[in-house]
Amino acid sequence: MYYFAYGVVALNYSKNPLYRNMKLISSEAWVYGRLYDTGLGFPAMTEGESKVHGKLLQIDEEQLSALASLAANFDELNEPFRFTLHSLPVYTPLSAYEALVFVYEDAEGLPPIEDGIWR
């Protein structure tokens, strides 16, 4: 299965023990959505029509379980931010994939990142 990483994870996936064993499929990938700055050092993506840039990684069931646990812990510690895993089309220069993506449900009041790239 595939996982689309954007934001902090996309920038530092090879240095993070949770992500570094995931196989990189494409360092140039994007989904259609909208990226926002949470003001806490990480972005939040909602569904939408703009491009959000990131990396496409291949993951296994164990890695998926670790990601889901991480998201649940994160949600508990960082109210009101709530992320859920959605299956969305992800595009690369060569192909399209269906991948899991963490999506934030409500970005009301957060400033958008117009170019869809977290720096």
Residue 106's nearest CA partner among 12, 38, 6 is: 38
Is 75 a member of any domain? yes
Is 17 a member of any domain? yes
Query: The domain that contains 69 carries what CATH number?
Result: 3.10.490.10
Is 91 a member of any domain? yes
Residues 6+ away with beta carbon under 8 Å from 65? none
How far does CA 22 lie from the centroid of its chain? 14
List per-residue pLDDT tens for the chain, 119 residues long. Answer: 999 999 766 666 667 676 778 899 999 999 999 999 988 888 899 999 999 999 999 999 998 888 888 777 766 666 666 788 899 999 999 999 999 999 988 888 999 999 999 98
Domain assignment of residue 64, given as a range = 2-104
Number of independent structural domains in the chain: 1
Supply the DSSP symbol for 78.
S
Is 96 a member of any domain? yes
Measured between alpha carbons, how far is residue 5 from residues 27, 108, 109 in Å? 10, 22, 23
Residue 99's nearest CA partner among 64, 75, 50 is: 64
Prediction pTM value: 0.88
